[in-house]
Every structure is written in structure tokens, then in C-alpha cells.
Amino acid sequence: MSLAALHARLGLTRNPFPPTPDASAYFFTEDLQEQFAEVLHCIQARKGFVLLTGEVGLGKSTFVRRLLDTLPPDEVRSALVFNTFLQREALLSAILRDFGLEPTDDMDEALARLNRFLLAEHRAGRTCLLVIDDAQNLQPASLELVRLLCNLETGQEKLLQIVLAGQPELETLLDGQDLRQLKSRVVKHARLVGLEVDQVVRYFEMRVSAAGASGRIALQPRAARLLHRATQGNLRRIHLVLDRCMYGLASHGGGTIDGALLRAALDDVAVGAPSARGRPGWRAALAMGGLGLMALGVGAAYVWPTAKLPAARQAAVAQVAPVGGAVAEPGPDGAAVASSAAAQPADVPPAAAAAAPAVAAAASAQAVPAASGAAGAEQRCLATVAAEPGDRPMVGRALPAAAVPRLRSAAGLCLFERGTQHWALWRDTLDKAAFGTTAASPASLALQKALVQQGVLEPGQVDGFYGPQTVTALAVFQTALGLPATPVPDELTYMLLEKMNAAPAPGARHE
């Protein structure tokens, strides 16, 4: 089967389950979202040393790449070290090279060069970040070097922010008596865990949507439970199994992964599921067909957080950043749309060609009403918001009950119900990197004014600096709505501050 035939069969624009870290399609559980925000805050506030641990396959490298993608490159200079079999002097040389400095075999001179560089960057207002991945491979002498680097500081701030990422063995190393000084410098320890069983379907839906086949490929709940039981929520194993399922769908046709197909995939990749021997041999047929799922290109950026909460407050977030200008890119409805001029017939006027994505979105919106009930309303919401102009990502979240009476559908915001919960889908305008900087910013000023409007910040405290008073006011606003307090506003909080009417928030002060 050719690659074009595979695209046509499954409606994919890229591999939804690649074997390598994919920071452009990142899935946030609520716990992970909070940990990510705290790590980001520690770096931007120059607090020093962050520890990131998790078992193999839980996404440590992807977390690191997402972190580096989120930090503004004009404000943060970063060095990323993967080869942790380098030790002490060789490790320091690798750090110098990644910062663009000339390495030297003299340890004292190498530290002096690094310190001069860090001081110069600090005077320029830039933050320097060192990320060491697979840090469980470091010897105690190299971890002692990390401690020395932690000591590079001004009177009040650390000159070098360090993220040490590794497997749980790293925690055991740091528990050693000779490394207690390094462990005492940890300001944040983020631990990654596998997906819960109720998050597996959400993850599947996000990845398939990111690959341009939203609504066309499904994972049956029973198959999702089997997948979770076999993989224990480990993302790398989930990708391995579901990638084989994509081959099976392409071979058999249809768009649903059921228990039989999943068991065959589990047996094929040997991740511990019951044997599926004796079932139809679609794997051999696909091997002869030479399918090339791994050759599919990487598309737009996606984030789809899902809350690890009681049923009454479960939530999922989908951010969709459409990419245009190329043949078969994801269109506004998630389907493949020929959007380049070369893809248009010669007799199509340029204006009509330029309008093709909007026409495709309108056609999708026309088709969605065929679905009925709550599912149909949700699909119509998705099509409506996706068809609106603009390239900002889309986000979907369950709403806190206190916010529901104060919201209404408008441009860029659509409300719908999923079961007994009220949900919102909107165009996200949040830039988390705009907060937590040491200088005044228009984003912080706008946030402060919104907090004043909600009655949780005094007008005299509006100064454009994102400091403790603003963080406290933000926490008061979030707590009043039953939301978790975050160091910087998350997508839902930011939307509520933008979209809620001028009525005071529940529990807010009255002047």
C-alpha cells in the first residue's frame, strides 16, 4: 500500500503515535500541567535547581523539549546535555560548548569562563538554563560538579538554572550521604507518572486529532482498558501498541480499534498482553505492503490537558494550532485540506483558492448537525470555532459551576454540555511566557486590570509587574471558582478573566 493510499484510507497527515519524543503534540494531565507551570516558574524566577524524575517511557525528554519550546529564546539561553556518560571535566566541556563557549581541560579556567558568561548574560537580563537528561548515568563526582554550578549566583539569584532529568535511580543517588548538599538545593521535584485508565481515550483522541483524523478513528472503551492494563499508562508502550493498530486499520479498513485488533497489536509488540496467536495475519500483509507511517511529517502544535479529578470535575484541554500553506495540511475541521496554490486546478481564480480552507470549514460545519444530542452540539461547537478566522489554538475545558451563569457563546467562544457538565471551547490567547519576568509587561498589566474588574486586586496595585500581590489575587480568583491555584494563569483561568461579564466573582470583595 502506497503512502498516498494510506493517507486516503485513514485520513492522516502524520503519524499520530511516533516512537520519538513529540513536544509539538503534548498531553497535559492536570497534575502534569501544574508541575510544568511550577518548573517554568522556578526557571523564570531564577530559583536554581529543579529535579525531574520518572520511569523509562513516561515522557521526561518530551517534558524537557516542551519546556525549552515554551521559554522565550530571546530571554533564555539554554544548554542541553544528553550524553551523560561524559563525566566531570568532559561534562563541563560539553556544557561550555552548548553555551557557545570554548572548552578547556583546566577545570578552574572552565568554571571561570562559565561564570563570566553567566554574569554577562545576567547583566543583559537573560536567564541561563542547563538541562541534563538521563542524569541517572552521572557519577557522584559529576553530580558534585552540578552542585558547584548551583553555587554560581549573585547576591539574590542563581546565575544558572539547572534541570536534572532522570530515572528513579537518580533519586537513589541523591539520597546518598555524600550528595546530601546537592539534594538540599532542589527547589522543585517533578515526578512523572503514567496515564490513568480514564485518560487513555482522551490521549488517543488528542493524538488522532493532531494527525488530522479527528472523529474518523476511534478507540473502543474496552480496548482502552485493555491497553491501559497492558501498558500501565506508559506513553512509550502506548505509542508502540497503537502504531501497530494503525497498520491493522489500514489493512482491514474501518476506523475503530476494538479488543481483537488491540490484542493482536499487543501480541505483535510483546508488551505483556494475552497471546493473540492464531488471529488473522494482518501484520505479515502489512510488512509486505511496506507501509511508511514513520515517514509522515510533523504538523502543528497541540496541547490537550485532561484533569485527574473526581468525575464531577473531569476536564480535557485541546489546543489546535492550524498550519496552512501546504498540500494536505490539517484544515480547520481537522481533515486534510489542499491549501497550497499548486494544489488548485489551473482555472480556479486566486481568490477562490485562498478561500478554500474557509469553504472546507463551512462544509464541515454544515455536515456536523447530522449528529444529534450532546455529541452533535459538541461537534457543532468544534466546527464553529475552528471555522472562525485566526490562527490561535483552540482549547476545550469543563467549566466550574460558578462561572457558567456568567458566560455566553460569542466570537471565539462556544459553550456546550457533555453529560452533566458544562464545557467551553475557545480560541486561546494566553502566553504563559509573558508572566513571571522581572520587568513590567503589557500582559501583566492587562491581567491586573482584569483582576481588579473581578474585585480581587486593588486598583492601586496595578503596575504591570507580575509579583506576589498579583499571584495572590490570581489565587483568590481561582479558589473562589473552585479552580486550583497556579503560579501563572492557566488557559481556563485566563479565558474566564477575558470572557466573564463584569459581575464580581463569587466571594470577591465589594467596594
pLDDT digits (tens, 9 = 90+) for 130-173: 999 888 888 888 888 888 888 887 767 889 999 999 999 999 88
Res 483 pLDDT > 50:
yes
Strands 319-320 and 329-330: unpaired
Q: What crossing angle do the helices spanning 221-231 and 259-269 adopt, rounded to 10°?
A: 20
Burial class (CB in 10 A: 0-12, 13-18, 19+), 44: buried
The rounded Cα 45 to chain-centroid distance in angstroms is 21
Q: How far apart are CA 277 and CA 152, in angstroms?
A: 59
pLDDT at 99: 92
More confident residue, 209 or 43: 43
pLDDT at 55: 93
Q: What crossing angle do the helices spanning 3-10 and 235-252 adopt, rounded to 10°?
A: 100
For residue 153, list its beta bridge partners. Answer: 158
Q: How far apart are CA 58 and CA 62, in angstroms?
A: 9
The dihedral over CA atoms of 158, 164, 170, 171, expressed in degrees to the nearest 10, equals: 50
Q: What is the mean pLDDT of the chain?
A: 74
pLDDT at 479: 83
The rounded Cα 262 to chain-centroid distance in angstroms is 26
pLDDT at 410: 80
Q: How far apart are CA 159 and CA 424, in angstroms?
A: 42
- Measured at the CA of 72, the angle between CA 68 and CA 76, to 5 degrees, comes to 75
Q: How far is CA 377 from CA 268, 365, 395, in A?
A: 39, 11, 16
pLDDT at 374: 61
Q: How far is CA 459 from CA 59, 432, 434, in A?
A: 43, 23, 21
pLDDT at 501: 57
The rounded Cα 139 to chain-centroid distance in angstroms is 32
Res 333 pLDDT > 50:
no
Q: How far apart are CA 297 and CA 14, in angstroms?
A: 5
Among the ranges given (293-307, 340-354, 382-396), the one the predictor scored with the smallest mean pLDDT: 340-354
Instruction: Provide the 3-class DSSP secondary structure of residue 463.
Output: coil
pLDDT digits (tens, 9 = 90+) for 404-460: 988 888 877 889 888 888 999 888 888 877 775 556 788 888 899 999 988 888 888
Locus of grid cell 542547563: 130
pLDDT digits (tens, 9 = 90+) for 177-236: 888 888 888 999 999 999 999 999 999 988 888 888 777 888 999 999 999 999 999 999
The dihedral over CA atoms of 146, 149, 155, 159, expressed in degrees to the nearest 10, equals: -110
H helical segments located in 253-394: 259-269, 282-289, 350-354, 356-367, 373-387
pLDDT digits (tens, 9 = 90+) for 80-139: 987 767 777 888 988 999 999 998 888 889 999 999 999 999 999 999 999 998 888 888
pLDDT at 224: 94
Strands 421-427 and 394-398: antiparallel
More confident residue, 214 or 324: 214
H helical segments located in 179-234: 180-183, 197-210, 221-231
The answer to whether the CB of 486 falls within 8 A of the CB of 34 is yes
Among the ranges given (69-73, 74-78, 333-337, 398-402), the one the predictor scored with the smallest mean pLDDT: 333-337
pLDDT digits (tens, 9 = 90+) for 54-78: 999 999 989 999 899 889 888 999 9
End-to-end alpha carbon distance in the chain: 69
Res 249 pLDDT > 80:
yes
Cell numbers placing 448: 491586573
